[in-house]
Structure 1
Amino acid sequence: MSALLLAVQDAGTVLAQVGNPTPEAPPGSEKILQLVRYLTWFVLLAGIVAIIYAGGKFAWERWTGGGLESPKMVAGAMIGGVVATSAGTIMNAVIGT
C-alpha cells in the first residue's frame, strides 16, 4: 500500500513540475485564420442585414396593423450578433487560457 501512495506522490510531483504551455499557431495556419476572419465578416454582414430587414418589417407591421413578430427578429439578430462577435472571448473563458 505504501508503494502505491509513494507512486501517486511522485506522479503529483512530476505533474506539478510541468509548466503552463502557451498556445502557438501551427505552421500554415494563416489561411485558416484568414477564412475565420472572412466568416466573421460575413456573419456581421448577415446580422446587419437581418436587423435592417426586421426594422423594415416592423414598420410595415405598424403601418398595416398586423401582428408584431419583428421585435423578436430584432432581438434574435442582436443576440446572435453578440454571441458571434464575442466567440473568441467566450472560448477563452471556457478553456481558461
Structure 2
Amino acid sequence: MILVSTYDVLAQIGNPSPEAPPVADKILQLVQYLTWFVLLSGIIAIVYAGGRFAWEKWSGGGLESPKMVAGAMIGGVVATSAGTIMNAVIG
C-alpha cells in the first residue's frame, strides 16, 4: 500500500530538468573575477620570488626564495586545476 502511494507521488513529480539558479550569471562573473585575481597574484608571487632569489644570490645571503618559488608554482597548479578537481569529485 505504501509502495503504491509512493509510486503515485513520484509519478506525479516527473523527471525535472536542470535549471540555472536565478543569480547564476552574477555568481559566474564573480568566480571569473576571483580566478583572474588568483592568477594575477600567482604571477606576482613568482616574479617577486624570482627577484628575491636573484637578490639573495647576488648578496650571498641564505637562499629562502626557492621555497617561495616552489610554493607559488604549486599554489598556481592547485588554483588553476580547482575546476577540474571539483568536476572529478562531483561528477
TM over 0.5: yes
Give the 4+ runs in structure 1 shifted more than 3 A. 21-24
Any unmatched runs of 5+ in structure 1? 1-6, 8-18
1:68 matched to 2:63? The reply is: yes
Aligned partner of 1:83: which letter?
V
CA RMSD of the aligned region, Å?
Answer: 2.0
Instruction: After TM superposition, give the deviation of residue 22 of structure 1 in Å.
Output: 7.7
- TM-score using structure 2 length: 0.78
Using the alignment, how far apart are the partners of 1:44 and 1:28 within structure 2? Answer: 25
Residues 1:24 and 1:90: Cα distance change in structure 2 (over 3 Å): farther
Which of 80, 91, 94 aligns to 2:86? It is 91
Q: Secondary structure at the match of 1:37?
A: helix
Aligned pair count reads 79
Q: Which runs of 5+ in 2 are unaligned?
A: 4-14
Identity among equivalent pairs (%): 82
State the TM-score, normalized to the length of structure 1. 0.73
Alpha-carbon separation, structure 2, partners of 1:53 and 1:23:
45
> What CA distance in whole angstroms lies between the structure 2 residues aligned with 1:22 and 1:55?
51
2:31 matched to 1:36? yes
The whole-number CA distance in structure 2 between the counterparts of 1:22 and 1:92 is 20
